Amino acid sequence: MGYPPVLRERRRYIAFEVMANSDFTENQVIQALKQSVLTFLGELGYADSDFDVVFYDHSSKQGIARSTDKNEYNVIAAISLIPSILGKTVGVKVFGVSGTVNKAKSKFLNKNLLNREKQIIER
């Protein structure tokens, strides 16, 4: 039993960068983003937004988060309101929003990051 395309929610992919002086692990950043969305939108809002972090690159501090199209602004606002991670001041900068992961990567993220991904795939 497949899931009919008409019932699928349209997704939006949000490209972001964490501005910080300290280094955080991938897990720490993902948990901070999820916690911020959960705190700001609540459990119901979190469920509605279908929020998730698709990937985060530790070295470039850039990543892509996912939400539904109806909750795109709510999720961006929730991400923007992260003042610190593990007590250290940070700022989360949103580059833009796209309808596909590949387009979000090619349009907004660092070219070095894309090259590195290609190298990993080639290996």
Partner 1 sequence: MGFSEFPVGIKVVEHTDIDKAYSKEDLVFVRASNSLDKNKKIIRLPVDGIIDPFFPKAKSFDTGMLNIARDNNIVIVITLTKFLEARGVGRARLVVNGRRLVNLANKSGVSVLLTTGAMNRFQLRVPLQLISLGVILGMTPNRAKWSLSKIPESLARRKG
> What are the DSSP calls for 46-112, one per residue?
HHHHT-EEEEEETTTTEEEEEEEGGGHHHHHHHHHT--EETTEEEEEEEEEEESSHHHHHHHHS-HH
Q: Nearest Cα to 26, choosing from 70, 72, 57, 49?
A: 57
Nearer to partner 1, 93 or 118 (CB): 93
Touching partner 1, residues 45-74 (CB under 8 A): 73-74
Is 77 near partner 1 (CB under 8 A)? yes
Nearer to partner 1, 53 or 74 (CB): 74
- Give least dist CB 59 to partner 1, A: 20
Q: Which of 35, 39, 112, 115 binds partner 1 (CB under 8 A)?
A: 39
CA distances from 75 to 22, 70, 79, 112, 123 (A): 24, 10, 6, 27, 35
Is 101 near partner 1 (CB under 8 A)? no
Is 96 near partner 1 (CB under 8 A)? yes
- Give least dist CB 8 to partner 1, A: 23
Is 37 near partner 1 (CB under 8 A)? no
Q: Nearest Cα to 111, choosing from 53, 60, 58, 49?
A: 60
Footprint on this chain of partner 1 (rule: CB under 8 A): 19-20, 39-40, 73-74, 76-77, 79-81, 83, 89-91, 93-97
